[in-house]
Amino acid sequence: MRGTIGRLKAHWPRSAAALHWRDTVRSPAMRIIVILFLILIVSSLGSALLFLLRDRGQGGTRVARALAIRVGLSLTLFALLMAGFATGLIDGRL
């Protein structure tokens, strides 16, 4: 048993208990980008609601455009997260 722990310590520079949540993201810029995208997604959804209430259901083109922007932002965020995990920019929790 003692030999196994020694081999694990040789492979791990830190013990698993010493890992902190800050160590899971290698690039703090990635965290800022994700937060920015989330803010943009929520604001696009809010603008769609505002357009819906202002136009009283008559002009659906502005609502549809705002919702299409939200869907595009959501898909882009998903693709960025997948690329971050694939490239190693994101190791664990963001």
Count Cα neighbours of 6 within 13 Å in the Cβ-side half-sphere.
Answer: 3
Looking at the DSSP bridge assignments, the partners of residue 90 are 25
- Quick one: pLDDT at residue 20? 53
Highest mean pLDDT among 28-32, 42-46, 81-85, 89-93: 42-46
How far apart CA 87 and CA 56 sit, in angstroms, is 46
pLDDT digits (tens, 9 = 90+) for 56-79: 767 678 899 999 999 999 999 999
91 or 69, greater pLDDT: 69
Which range has the worst mean pLDDT, 41-45, 49-53, 64-68, 90-94?
90-94
With the C-alpha atoms ordered 81, 74, 31, 24, is the resulting torsion angle positive or negative? negative
- Quick one: pLDDT at residue 23? 53
CB burial of 46-77 (b: ≥16 within 10 Å; e: otherwise) equals ebbeebbeeeeeeeeeebeebbebbeebbeeb
Contact 8, 48 (CB under 8 A): no
